[in-house]
């Protein structure tokens, strides 16, 4: 009964229920244009498929398995802990931590863990935003609220994307031991861009999706959160292809 309740509850979420209703409507549409009818069905079925934990597991898990969490017992010292930006939702009535996206909070939490493990290291928080409400400022304020001294925090508030983060931080980080904190899906591209600026980094990935742990029928039920994960992964694939294209045109680019 518990499993049945979970399956029914999952089916009633916005994405799966919408797709089911669209499919139901298609059953009553006159099939005058057979090609359009078949394409509509194909699109509905495809959107359902790519939104399932089963598809996400096949797509994402292989790349995640190539990454491991940062183990402090394997690295004697770190000079800088760099936390890359990941979105901010400005709302002046809220404290800084509530203005950060879940992704940014996940990255910052890992950054603070490493900072406690390496008390001589400095924390670099990065990312632009909207006016004074930058991702770097919100992360810095959150870190201070959690007990990190202001003098141990460096803000990189002008960087609008990962390429600019690497470019603007390069002169400071070259020849230093750097722990790079970002999402697992983003780590390959981020390290590539920092390496292109002459900065060697140690991966400290967060936000592992681990869809291989999904069980039973829920592996085949569409979910908005899974679709978001697949979208994030697709964004990274496009980003890497864009970098490759830029470098093909101009070897000095990015």
Instruction: Determine contact, residues 207/185, Cβ cutoff 8 Å.
Output: yes
Q: How far apart are CA 11 and CA 51, in angstroms?
A: 12
Name the pTM for this structure.
Answer: 0.86
- 184: burial class by Cβ within 10 Å (0-12, 13-18, 19+)? buried
The CATH number given to whatever domain includes residue 121 is 3.40.50.620
Locate 76 and state its tokens: 């004697």
Closest among 119, 183, 169 to 147, alpha carbons compared: 119
Look at residue 71 and tell me if it is in a domain: yes
Look at residue 236 and tell me if it is in a domain: yes
What is the count of structural domains for the chain? Answer: 1
- 100: burial class by Cβ within 10 Å (0-12, 13-18, 19+)? buried
pLDDT of residue 30: 65
Q: Would residue 210 be called left, alpha or beta, if left means φ above 0 and alpha means ψ between -120 and 50 degrees?
A: left
Look at residue 29 and tell me if it is in a domain: no
Domain range for 148 is: 51-207+216-254
Per-residue pLDDT of the chain (254 residues; tens, 9 = 90+): 546 555 666 666 778 888 888 888 777 776 677 787 788 888 899 999 999 999 999 999 999 999 999 999 999 999 999 999 998 888 889 999 999 999 999 999 999 999 999 999 999 999 998 777 899 999 999 999 999 999 999 999 999 999 999 999 999 999 999 999 999 999 999 999 999 999 999 999 999 998 877 777 888 989 999 999 999 999 999 999 989 998 889 877 77
Locate 203 and state its tokens: 């991966």
């Amino acid at each position: 009964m518990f499993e049945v309740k979970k399956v029914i509850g999952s089916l009633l979420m916005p994405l799966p229920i919408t797709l089911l209703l669209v499919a139901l409507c298609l059953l009553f549409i006159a099939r005058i244009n057979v090609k359009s009818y078949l394409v509509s069905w194909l699109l509905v079925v495809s959107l359902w498929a790519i939104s399932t934990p089963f598809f996400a597991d096949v797509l994402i898990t292989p790349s995640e398995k190539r990454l491991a969490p940062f183990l402090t017992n394997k690295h004697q010292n770190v000079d800088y802990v760099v936390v890359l930006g990941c979105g901010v939702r400005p709302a002046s009535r809220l404290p800084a931590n509530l203005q950060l996206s879940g992704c940014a909070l996940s990255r910052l939490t890992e950054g603070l863990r490493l900072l406690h493990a390496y008390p001589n290291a400095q924390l670099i928080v990065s990312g632009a935003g909207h006016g004074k409400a930058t991702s770097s400022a919100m992360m810095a304020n959150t870190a201070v609220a959690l007990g990190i001294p202001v003098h141990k925090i460096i803000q990189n508030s002008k960087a609008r994307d990962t390429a600019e983060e690497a470019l603007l931080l390069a002169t400071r980080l070259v020849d230093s031991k750097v722990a790079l904190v970002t999402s697992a899906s983003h780590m390959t591209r981020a390290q590539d861009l920092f390496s292109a600026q002459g900065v060697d980094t140690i991966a400290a990935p967060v936000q592992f999706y681990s869809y291989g742990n999904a069980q039973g029928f829920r592996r085949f039920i569409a979910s908005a959160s899974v679709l978001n994960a697949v979208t994030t992964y697709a964004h990274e694939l496009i980003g890497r292809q864009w970098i490759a294209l830029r470098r093909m045109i101009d070897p000095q680019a990015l």
